[in-house]
Amino acid sequence: EKIYIDKYVQIKGRQKIIYTQLKKELYIEITNIDGERIIDESSELLKKLLRLAQIASNPFLVDKAYDETPAKFPLLDALVESILEQKEKVIVWSCFVENIRILYRRYRRLGSLILYGDIPIEKRNEIVKQFRNNKESAILIANPAAAREGLTLTVANNAIYLDRNFNLVDYLQSQDRIHRISQTKECRIYKLIAKNTIDEYVDELIYKKHKLAEYVQGDIDNINVEKEFMTKEQLLEIVG
């Protein structure tokens, strides 16, 4: 069984200033675009929207002068510590490799491990083996895109999504790393969402994509509803 738990934070300080500045720039850009259906997965505009997601997660990813604590980090700290106190293991998912490296250093004292696409296959296998077999290695910080298929991590029954992009396949298949037939424990899926940011739109879009995938009998690899849902009007709602 999977239990979904949404955890909300409010961005503030420099994080809010940086986010608001980019949001205003995008509002002007979107307003000046002709046409209604204006975005696809390869567009420059989508890349800029993902920068909003980076700022909502950790502004340092786009502004190296940022030296405050991102709003999600204290909440993540509390969740990780609570899970470890229960003698359970946890996977922290982030779409952004630099975030993964930052979190690896943040939790190194707790025995963190790291997994993302640039790590060679042999090294990845060693990391997975260590996570499975070493009681002291209870935190795996990973990129969903690097753990799509064929990876069993049921030694953990907790997954925390620090951030997400628009990719439904990565989101669902990363959940399946801990939720397989061999899993005997209840699985808890935590989503960290920054209020009044693109996080809420991503959450809504992924939900719609999932429902559409279920409607077409689970063929999620062929689902591309960015074009369907990312109209000019809806994008202006994000950055308005």
Question: What would the pLDDT profile of 126-153 be if each residue is shown by its tens digit?
Answer: 999 999 999 999 999 999 988 766 678 8
Inside any domain, residue 4: no
Residue 177 has pLDDT above 90, yes or no: no
**Residue 240 exposure: Cα atoms within 13 Å on the Cβ side:** 9
Strands 139-142 and 90-93, sheet pairing: parallel
183 and 128 co-located in one domain? yes
Residue 31 has pLDDT above 90, yes or no: no
142 and 159 co-located in one domain? yes
**In this predicted structure, what is the pLDDT of residue 65?**
98
Does the CA dihedral 128-146-48-223 come out positive or negative? negative
96 and 205 co-located in one domain? no
Q: Which domain holds residue 157?
A: 72-193
**In this predicted structure, what is the pLDDT of residue 225?**
46
Dist CA 160 CA 174 (whole Å): 11
Residue 57 has pLDDT above 80, yes or no: yes
pTM higher than 0.85, yes or no? yes
118 and 154 co-located in one domain? yes
157 and 78 co-located in one domain? yes
Question: What would the pLDDT profile of 11-22 be if each residue is shown by its tens digit?
Answer: 999 999 999 999
Q: 176: which residues sit within 8 A by CB, 6+ positions away?
A: none
**How many residues does the structure list for the chain?**
240
Inside any domain, residue 2: no
77 and 184 co-located in one domain? yes
**Residue 155 exposure: Cα atoms within 13 Å on the Cβ side:** 17
153 and 173 co-located in one domain? yes
**In this predicted structure, what is the pLDDT of residue 175?**
87
Inside any domain, residue 5: no
Inside any domain, residue 58: yes
**In this predicted structure, what is the pLDDT of residue 219?**
54
61 and 92 co-located in one domain? no
**In this predicted structure, what is the pLDDT of residue 21?**
96
78 and 172 co-located in one domain? yes
The beta strands (E) that lie in 75-122 are given as 90-93, 112-115
189 and 204 co-located in one domain? no
Report yes or no: 15 and 71 within 8 Å, Cβ to Cβ.
Answer: yes
83 and 44 co-located in one domain? no
Residue 193 has pLDDT above 50, yes or no: yes
Question: What would the pLDDT profile of 64-102 be if each residue is shown by its tens digit?
Answer: 999 999 999 999 999 999 999 999 999 999 999 999 999
Q: 86: which residues sit within 8 A by CB, 6+ positions away?
A: none
Q: For the chain, what is the mean pLDDT?
A: 87
Tokens 């409010």 -> residue: 10
Dist CA 14 CA 69 (whole Å): 10
81 and 177 co-located in one domain? yes
**Tokens (6 digits) for 129:** 């083996």
CATH code of the domain covering residue 120: 3.40.50.300
Dist CA 204 CA 208 (whole Å): 6
DSSP H helices, 121-221, are: 121-133, 168-175, 198-215
